[in-house]
Amino acid sequence: MTTTSDQTDHYVLVVPDRDAAEELSARLTAAHPTLPEPELHREALAGEDDAEDAQWLVVLDPPLPITLSVADLHDLAAEFDGWLEDF
């Protein structure tokens, strides 16, 4: 994914499990109804074969609604023991 100083292809929030990803997605869509439905993806950790060793990605397409900032995404991901991936 390529970025410029003010634009990104996607916003990717990384969380530790599916329940966190689903709850985060639900909170985002409830609080920001104009936000397109976030995509959820499972990402196995490098070298891990166990299904339990996976992170979940919540992927948002820009632009973000005016009521949602990148700082808000950082804070929300942190609430779920995750982070906003920087590209």
> Taking CA 68 as the corner, what is the angle to CA 6 and CA 33, rounded to the nearest 5 degrees?
125
In tens, the pLDDT along 59-85 reads: 999 999 999 999 999 999 999 999 999
The arithmetic mean of pLDDT across residues 32-41, rounded, is 94
pTM, two decimal places: 0.81
Q: Which residue has the higher pLDDT, 7 or 83?
A: 83
Question: What residues does each domain of the chain span?
Answer: 55-87
For 59-68, b/e burial (b = at least 16 CB within 10 A) is ebeeebeeeb
pLDDT value at position 54? 84
